Amino acid sequence: MVGAQMTDSNDILVGNLAGKTIGDGLIVLPGQGNSLAASTDDGMVVLDVSSPRHAKKMLITLRDFSEDPVHAIVYSHGHHGYNSAVPIWLEHNKERGDTPPRLVGHENIVKRYARYRETNELQARLASLQFPTGIPVEMVMESFTVHDPTETFTDTMKLVSGGRRVELIWAPSEVDDAIAMWFPDDGLLCGGAATPGISIPNIGTPLRTQRFTIRWAETLERLDTLGAETLLTEFGPLVEGTAAVHDQLSLTAEALRWLRGEVIDRMNRGMGEIEIVHDISFPEELFGKPWMLPIYGDPEYIVRDLFREETGWWDRNPTSLHPSLPTEAASAVLSAIGDPNTVLMKAEDLRDSGEIQLALHVIDVIALAGGDDPLIVRARELKSELLRLRGKEVTAFVSKSLYESSARLLDTGETSWTKLT
């Protein structure tokens, strides 16, 4: 959060339609993303019960809407926060004397949760970087609890067959355990993580594991064949009308396929990752749509993820094959400079002329060096300033967050991420 310039870390994950009734027996609950509660002959079906901080408001909204018991809680995907409030909802059912709800998710979510338990501290650190709320890592770790579903499926599942039908469809996209919820009698599709609705698909995010662009496109094309009349996206406004739903699904898939073609063409010509990032222009007719803007992620991230799909981590600079520690390398470079103050002055000149990214490249010659020499301390202070200025230049929430997190670390006088608290 760079002053008032940055979207609140909590707000970015709040759905656009909280509290809105979107059809007979259908209401969006005020949780993380557009959580949906649907009345069925078997009871209420809830898509994502969110985190504990949302639970009270979600339950109040649900009970103002219906007193029917909760029949099933469906996990749209396995990311932290979307269903960490499951124990609170289970207790709610128990207090009411209702039968415990079914907990339903894709079979891959079990593997994800096993990995999350193994890497709990890492996940908390990544979250602290991506959502710089100032909450200590230890407290984030405590909130990162996961609860396995009691039922899983592989490709499709008929959750409710009588009355209002509810079907679940595997929808690998942002993650391999994502699902979509389909109401064939209502023509309503809940796209979940496959359809963010407010930003370009979150592929290639700097801190996360590999995501697969064409797999995401294939999922959107599969969902498009349903012919939905209404689309409830993960965060965005309701998409109404068969044509509008088709446009959002098909044009997003087309953009992703186009982008892979452009990246592969350049890779085949021998271009490196950063060269490709700077060489591609994104056509307005595909990437200028309201749901394709760089609000959370960025098309450059997708370029880099596509590159990573087909090749290894090497950046094509042989110096980086077996590198020295950054502090040692920077100290060696610094010792070779006759007057290091000229580096500081050049970085400041670039800053003053609006060349913030180039200024960051220059200041790293000093700022990455080890020790607490006053010149190095001043360089780190300048780098922190530059990072915040760079954060104002970009639009993607993730980039803004990482610039701010990095600046905060430098503000403490530290350069190692092991010092993140």
Q: Where are the beta strands (DSSP E) in 52-106?
A: 70-74, 102-106
How many CB atoms lie under 10 A from the CB of residue 301? 23
Tens of pLDDT, residues 308-367: 999 999 999 999 999 999 999 999 999 999 999 999 999 999 999 999 999 999 999 999
What domains can be seen in the chain, in order of their start residue? 11-190 (3.60.15.30), 195-206+221-322 (no CATH), 324-419 (1.25.40.880)
Q: Over the stretch 73-82, which tens digit does the pLDDT of each residue have? A: 999 999 999 9
For the range 371-374, what are the long-range contacts, defined as Cβ-Cβ under 8 Å and sequence gap of 24 or more?
Answer: 371/331, 372/413
Three-state DSSP class for residue 340? coil
Compute the distance between CA of residue 362 and CA of residue 391 in angstroms, rounded to an integer. 18
Nearest to 33 by CA among 168, 193, 146, 201: 193
Identify the CA nearest to 408 among candidates 191, 128, 193: 128
How high is the pLDDT of residue 5?
A: 32
- The percent helix, strand, coil of the chain (3-state, each to 5) is 45, 15, 40
pLDDT digits (tens, 9 = 90+) for 247-287: 999 999 999 999 999 999 999 999 999 999 999 999 999 99
pLDDT at 237: 94
Each of the 421 residues of the chain gets a pLDDT tens digit; together they read 222 233 444 577 888 898 999 999 999 999 999 999 999 999 999 999 999 989 999 999 999 999 999 999 999 999 999 999 999 999 999 999 999 999 999 999 999 999 999 999 999 999 998 998 888 888 888 778 899 999 999 999 999 999 999 999 999 999 999 999 999 999 999 999 999 999 999 998 899 888 999 999 999 999 999 999 999 999 999 999 999 999 999 999 999 999 999 999 999 999 999 999 999 999 999 999 999 999 999 999 999 999 999 999 999 999 999 999 999 999 999 999 999 999 999 999 999 999 999 999 999 999 999 889 999 999 999 999 999 999 999 999 999 999 999 999 999 988 888 887 7
- At residue 141, the pLDDT reads 80
